[in-house]
Structures are given as C-alpha cells and as structure tokens.
Amino acid sequence: MRAVLLIIVVAILGVVGWKKRDEIPFLRDAARQVERQAEKVEIPKNPFAESPPVTADDPRTNPVPGRARRCLVNGSVLYTNDACPAGSTEQQVKGGTITVMPAYKAPPAPASASSGIPNARDLLKPKGGTLKDQAHEKAMEGL
C-alpha cells in the first residue's frame, strides 16, 4: 500500500514540476542548458529523405518496356511491368530477384447444381434406410 501511495505522490510531483518548469529555477536553468547543447549539435541529413537525381538515362524518364516497376499506391506496394497507375508514385527497384508466378486459374463453374458431386447428406445417410423406416418395416412384418 505504501508503494502505491509513493508512486502516486511521485507522479503528482512530476506533473507539477513539468507544469511549473519555467518557474522553478533549477529546472529553468537545466532546460536552457539542454537548448544550448542542442544548438551545437549538427543533425545529419537523412540520405533516404530525397530521391536520387534524375539523369538522362534514368529508366523513370526513359521507360524500358517490360522493366519491373515498384509503384506505391495508397500505402501499399505494387510491382508491375507496365506504367504505374494514376495517383501512384513510382519508386526505383533497387535490385534483388523478382519471381513471376502464373496467375491462378479458377476451376470451371459446374454446369448445374447436380453436377455429379454427391451432397454431404447423401454421403452420410445410413445404409438400408433410417431407423424410422426399419421400425415401420418390422411393424408391417408383424401384422
């Protein structure tokens, strides 16, 4: 119980300290010191933030028919050998192997509902009639 109370008190002091950080002298000085150190640090540029420069022999400006293209469409990636769809952005394929699988061919639709494939009800029904039918036959034999 004491641990829970201690955690609550520390949390409340932390919130109050955060709200009043400009009014408490040692917190204000610490914040200024952190800001000064942040100004001295040079943040490196992200090399992936910008796309590479476009050259005259760039495949994006000179499309090669049949070349693999990586298109970003609404956050999902689409690989195609045609031009990217409208509203998408084409990205450079950086390498690797692309394996093309044949398209899935759906089986032909049955000609009618009774195409020769047995129904589960027909497969699971008891052989020799139902128990009710057997009881009827025994009753008729007894008469």
In order along the chain (143 residues), what is the average pLDDT of each group of 10 residues? 93 86 77 81 71 51 67 85 84 77 79 68 77 84 73
Give Cα separations from 41 to 35, 38, 54 (angstroms): 10, 5, 32
CA-CA distance, 69 to 80, in Å (whole number)?
Answer: 5
Residues 6 or more apart in contact with residue 63 via CB below 8 angstroms:
83
One-letter amino acid identity for 62?
Answer: N
Q: Model pTM?
A: 0.29
Written as six digits, the tokens of 135 are: 């009881």
